Amino acid sequence: MNLKKAILALADGTTYNGISIGADGETIGEVVFNTSMTGYQEILTDPSYKGQIVTMTYPHIGNYGINEEDVESSRPHVSGFIVKELSLHPSNWRSHKTLNDYLKENNIVGIQGIDTRSLTKRLREKGSQMGIISTEDVKPQNLIDRIKSVHGLAGVDLVKEVTCDKQYRWNNGGESFPVVVYDFGAKWNILRSLVDSGCNVTVVPASTRAEDVMAMNPAGIVLSNGPGDPEAVTYAIENVKKLIGRKPIFGICLGHQILGLALGGKTFKLKFGHHGGNQPVMDLSTRKVEITAQNHNFAVDIDSLKGEVELTHVNLNDQTVEGMRHKSYPIFSVQYHPEASPGPHDSGYLFDRFVTMMKVSNA
């Protein structure tokens, strides 16, 4: 491995010296941290990370390599990757290549050998912020000056960069419930989970008109996860407004936020977001606690919805909204990822709940 120098510079003026991993060059993005101990391949290919440089808090990453099954989309979407120590000699029967080779092939710039604990503490204290990783310009002040002038992700529509180009079917079976999934950056395991629950899945681009979705006569509609600021995805908000009360709707992550905005509510940016597979969430109807996977920087303000919805799930770390249900229509949503299965099956019931809702609504 080439021990080329790399530097990470944050917008607050902090710099970290390390060693290059992946591709040579420079990359800019919002620096966030992920607390998962495993699952780096799913993280890299999650479209929700578009525009972000991901820091793994677990110190040793890459030890089981890269395989062809554990991907959540057709390619990696992260802007950059930060680890304490990269494993160069993976050991797993499914492994086809090293993480370093995978990063190079997909032109992902990364850095290792920095104090990721120090970086994580800074992001917790100061909040997520823009950063730059460079193997080309290794003068810290140059990088600091450049990153300070870069606009953050608030107000930026990243969905248009990750959504599918055209409508497609995920499966061709004889399932009972035709479901339309709005692709705001959908993870493939959401589609797999819907199929496993008895749904026939059609995926449509994020800008698909509500009238076109209704013309497909689905039994239900899923609003998928995705990257960035939900308020910037104005076309999706307007289309969801037109669908409310007409079909059962299940929102996940960004889809949950877009639903909140379509119902007339507000969202706000979290200080450093929720990223990882160990977020405790309580289902208020059962008082059971789920261990959930999450990846978001924005949250719904439940009070702004003026009693239209009922709070169903709450984050036990910071009390933010993790789920809601409409009081009049067959609509519910969660902020976390029920398909990611860190529990491993704590949240799988949500797909069954959606199917039950479709059964009742289409009876």
Q: Can you point out the beta strands (E) in 23-127?
A: 26-34, 52-56, 60-61, 80-83, 85-86, 109-112
Go through the chain and tell me how many residues it has. 363
Q: CA geometry: angle at 130 spanning 29 and 336, to 5°?
A: 70
d(Cα 146, Cα 110) in Å, to the nearest integer? 18
Contacts of 38 (CB under 8 A, 6+ apart): 58, 64, 277
Helix (H), strand (E) at residue 243:
helix 234-243
Q: Tokens standing for 3?
A: 């021990």
Instruction: Determine whether 339 is an active site residue.
Output: yes
CA gap 237, 363 in Å, rounded = 28
Is 199 labeled as catalytic in the residue annotation? no
Residue carrying the six token digits 């099954």? 69
Residues in CB range of 263: below 8 A, 6 or more apart:
244, 305, 308, 309, 326
Furthest CA-CA distance within the chain: 66
- Cα separation, 247 vs 230, whole angstroms: 22
Instruction: List phi, psi (to 5°) of 348.
Output: -65, -25
- Strands of the sheet with 199-205, listed across from one edge: 168-169, 199-205, 177-183, 220-223, 249-252, 331-334, 321-326, 309-315, 266-283, 288-301
User: What is the Rg, in whole angstroms, of the alpha carbon atoms belonging to the chain?
Assistant: 20
Catalytic residue among 253, 256, 274, 313: 253
Catalytic residue among 296, 313, 326, 337: 337
Residue 327 near residue 308, CB atoms below 8 Å: yes
Positions marked active-site: 253, 337, 339
